[in-house]
A and B are shown apart, each in its own frame.
Chain A
Amino acid sequence: MDLVTVNGLSKRFGGIVALSEAAFSARAGEVHALLGENGAGKSTFIQILSGAVKHDGGSILVDGQDYRPANPDDAQARGIAAVFQELSLIPDLSVEQNIWFRHEPQTMLGTVNRTQTRRNTLALLEKYDFPTLRPEQELRRLTLAERQIVEIAKGLAKNPRILILDEATSALPAREAEWLLKLTRQLAAEGRLVIFISHRMAEVRAIADRLTIFRNGSTVAAHEANTVSDDEIVTRMIGRHLDRLYPERVPTMTQRIALKVANLTSGSRLSGVDFSLREGEVLGVGGLQGHGQRELFQALFGATKAGGMIELWGKPAAIGNPRQALTGKDGIALVPEDRRGQGLLLTKSVRENLTLSVIRRFTENGLLSRQKEAALVKEMVDFLRIRAGTPEQLAGTLSGGNQQKVIFGKMLLTEARVLLLYDPTRGVDVGTKGEIFQLMRDLAAKGYAILFHSSDMPELVHVADRVLVMRNGRIAAALEGEHISEEGILRAAMLETRAA
């Protein structure tokens, strides 16, 4: 009999459907992989299982009995523990305090029994052959990889019947990742169910008995692991949907190199990125979330410190901060991902938002020329088809799509001709999306050079001239022409064995 059976599970967050009709079933003693793109609903699913979030509809049976945990404690009482990708550790407690948090052995005085805690910690670490950890060390002194290992120990400390590992290997170096895979098999052999989430196909292949694939909040397939090919899995994960959202892609790029990046490095997130972007080109940046895309954009805009070389229009550029990035016709402008937080002053008018950072352009003898300003604002509003009553309308009252256009306008007015667009269509309605894509192609035709990241893969496929796929802080592949496809991107982002 199945240990866990889920049927018709649904969950909404506000207006967003995170899960609908999700189904899942798994047996004790197996490693069950859960696969899907970012946003497919995996995280919501495990949050529900682990009691962090309550589901709206559908049923979960554990051991044939209804399961509806009120909180993580409830889930633990039923034998379910999760090792979160978003770690549940406390920075100011020690390693062992974290492992046993809220389950500490106590003394007669109600205090934590330290010797017993230490003994239990060492026993646990030894039983599962953990990489070396110092039990007394404060968590905030640990590396990310070590924290992930502590999180795993914390999950195991509850002696769960069902252990959920949410991308637990992604933060681990190879040796520790290998250890975790071995541990996973060991736990299954002990009769536990391990629900294993990973974007690394090779790992899934190595340890999963069965797998379930999510797409857009629903279950699209469940298989014995050895009966499906990698190809099938990827196809299932991305599904198929095409429409006429995208403008025709007319190549407009010249031979002139607008932006050249060599060996760009920043911490462990960017390790030696090389590429060049040409005049008139829309260059896509893809890959799974968190593989350095954000850091790349921030480094190019001067918002994060990075080593390496950046050349703009053939001249070396020193970009220490966003102000330097924006300077003059040879500058770089960014459309940030969080437009409400970073890009736009919601309580200021459309006009003020457009001209704030370029106010120098409208001054004559130190005085603001209202006429000059008004002319440029009108030009921009018309060009971008910003739907505002007047230029004096407050930016906060515009729709998401129009807000995004204001940010585009703000960026265009800086005269920078290298544009960084980080997820510019997030939270934008479909109609405006189309307009934004058209705008991107128009700007490319005018000689702008555009670096474009989107969390929505089809956008990259249909808008970009080339696509760089990032993995582990590097360019894993540069796709061109017919090689640009969702499958191609996902393959380069996920499959380890494909050497370029």
Chain B
Amino acid sequence: MVMSAEQTVERAQMPAQAKDTRPGIDWRGRALDRAPFLVACLMLALIVAIYGSLQSGVLSLDELNLDTAAAMTLMLAATGQTIVLLRGGIDLSIGGMISLGTVFAATRFTDDPSTTAFWALAILGLGFLIGALNGLLISLLKLQPFLVTLATWSILNGVAMIILPTDGGSVPGWWVGFASAQLLGLTSPVWMLLALLLFWWWFRATRAGITIQASGSNEKSAFLSGVSITRVNIVTYGLSGLFAAGAALFLITQTGAGSPTIGKDYILPSVAAAVIGGVSLFGGRGHLAGTLIGAFVLTLIGNLVFVLHVSSYWQPVASGVILLLSVLASSVAEKAARSRVQ
């Protein structure tokens, strides 16, 4: 009787064993894994189709150049946010960093390219340092990323206000002109978009990228595998700060001035873009391509609201509905994927 108990357990496990070791590619499983991303692509296609039916010349290079420029600040901010989400955290402080970045740039940039270049690099460096500090605080104080970055957001915001109480300052014309510079018919924002994808392709294949993802997937396992969680946090939030600073430097090409309050407009949209693009809020899963598509979706909704001639207050309503739909799609796919494993 005792032996038969043993055998029953074995038999219960064997079929699963046989199923999973069967050679070949698990297409359905892969499709389910990518379902949130596919849903985001579908949404983008739908929005582009509606937009195209209301407005001529939507599928043109000009439109691509324009929309990418409009979306690039969010894309940069959301790239950092995606790295943090992959780690299983969240970074609210990017709002403060973006404001502070624009304020520094608008008060320090001059017509002298070398001074401006110095300050641009300094802002990027500052972004990384402040982010790294976030990471260090989260590790050392063992606090929630939400709380730590909420606090640093507030601090950075305050500092930006102290430096420049109201919107203003100025940015050299050649810096503003950067956003419309063209190469091979594509403006610099489109090239930046390609560069972001290239960066991601590289980053995700490096040990650092894999380690960040692993720490978000299962922190305890990562630690047991020898990962220094403190170092991971420093790098993760440092990169997020760096990208937020980059977003600030791009943003001033669009506004031509500094603003101590503008950053808050990017905090939640950066999370929303990632989530729409299929990045998991629980860490470990997601790709930048999805986030960038999410950023396009959020930006194009604005265009759509504009050509529909309805009140612009409908934009956040539509964004919210789309966010809900994509979260729903992810959770349905997640459940389907999980039930297959069982």
Q: What residues of chain A have their CB less than 8 Å away from a CB belonging to chain B?
A: 51-52, 71-73, 76, 84, 86-93, 97, 101-102, 104, 106, 109-112, 131-134, 137-138, 140-146, 154, 173-174, 268, 271-272, 471-474, 476-477, 496, 498-500
**Known A90-B217, A472-B6, A496-B3: A271·B20 in contact at CB below 8 Å:** no
Cβ contact of A87, chosen from B7, B10, B221, cutoff 8 A:
B221
| Cβ contact within 8 Å between B207 and A102 | yes
| Cβ contact within 8 Å between A93 and B217 | yes
Neighbouring A residues of B211 by C-beta, 8 Å: 102
Kindly provide the distance from the CB of A296 to the nearest chain B CB, expressed in whole angstroms.
14
| Cβ contact within 8 Å between A141 and B224 | no
Neighbouring B residues of A471 by C-beta, 8 Å: 2, 5
Instruction: Give residues 211-244 of B contacting A (CB, 8 Å).
Output: 211, 213-214, 216-218, 220-228
Neighbouring B residues of A142 by C-beta, 8 Å: 20
- The CA of A144 and the CA of B14, in the complex, are separated in Å by 11
- The CA of A154 and the CA of B218, in the complex, are separated in Å by 16
Neighbouring B residues of A474 by C-beta, 8 Å: 5, 8
**Known A72-B224, A271-B5, A472-B9: A112·B20 in contact at CB below 8 Å:** no
| Cβ contact within 8 Å between B224 and A88 | yes
- The CA of A272 and the CA of B4, in the complex, are separated in Å by 11
- The CA of A140 and the CA of B282, in the complex, are separated in Å by 15
| Cβ contact within 8 Å between B1 and A499 | yes
> Which segment of B21-29, B141-149, B323-331 sits at the interface?
B21-29
Cβ contact of A93, chosen from B1, B6, B202, B213, cutoff 8 A:
B213
B205 touches A (CB below 8 Å): yes
| Cβ contact within 8 Å between A472 and B17 | no
B206 touches A (CB below 8 Å): yes
- The CA of A144 and the CA of B10, in the complex, are separated in Å by 12
**Known A146-B17, A268-B13, A471-B2: A141·B210 in contact at CB below 8 Å:** no
**Known A87-B221, A496-B2, A500-B1: A145·B17 in contact at CB below 8 Å:** yes
| Cβ contact within 8 Å between B207 and A104 | yes
Cβ contact of A90, chosen from B1, B21, B214, B228, cutoff 8 A:
B214
Neighbouring B residues of A87 by C-beta, 8 Å: 221
B285 touches A (CB below 8 Å): yes
Neighbouring A residues of B310 by C-beta, 8 Å: none
B12 touches A (CB below 8 Å): yes
Total contacting residues, chain B, CB less than 8 A: 44
| Cβ contact within 8 Å between A92 and B213 | yes
B16 touches A (CB below 8 Å): yes
| Cβ contact within 8 Å between A132 and B225 | no
Neighbouring B residues of A131 by C-beta, 8 Å: 21
| Cβ contact within 8 Å between A93 and B214 | yes
| Cβ contact within 8 Å between B3 and A92 | no
Query: 1/0 contact trace for B178-220 toward A, CB 8 Å?
Result: 0000000000000000000000001001110011011011101
Q: List 10 A-B contacts (CB under 8 A).
A: A88-B221, A88-B225, A90-B222, A92-B216, A93-B210, A112-B207, A131-B21, A143-B16, A143-B20, A271-B8
Cβ contact of A173, chosen from B10, B202, B214, cutoff 8 A:
B10
Neighbouring B residues of A272 by C-beta, 8 Å: 8
Neighbouring A residues of B17 by C-beta, 8 Å: 143, 145-146, 173
- The CA of A31 and the CA of B221, in the complex, are separated in Å by 26
- The CA of A106 and the CA of B213, in the complex, are separated in Å by 18
Task: A111-B205, A154-B225, A472-B9 given; name 19 further pairs at CB < 8 Å.
Answer: A51-B226, A73-B226, A76-B226, A84-B224, A88-B220, A90-B218, A102-B226, A102-B227, A110-B206, A111-B206, A132-B21, A133-B21, A138-B33, A141-B26, A173-B17, A174-B6, A268-B9, A474-B8, A500-B1
| Cβ contact within 8 Å between A71 and B205 | no
> Sorted from nearest, which 5 A-B pairs have the closest CB atoms?
A111-B205, A88-B224, A73-B226, A92-B284, A474-B5
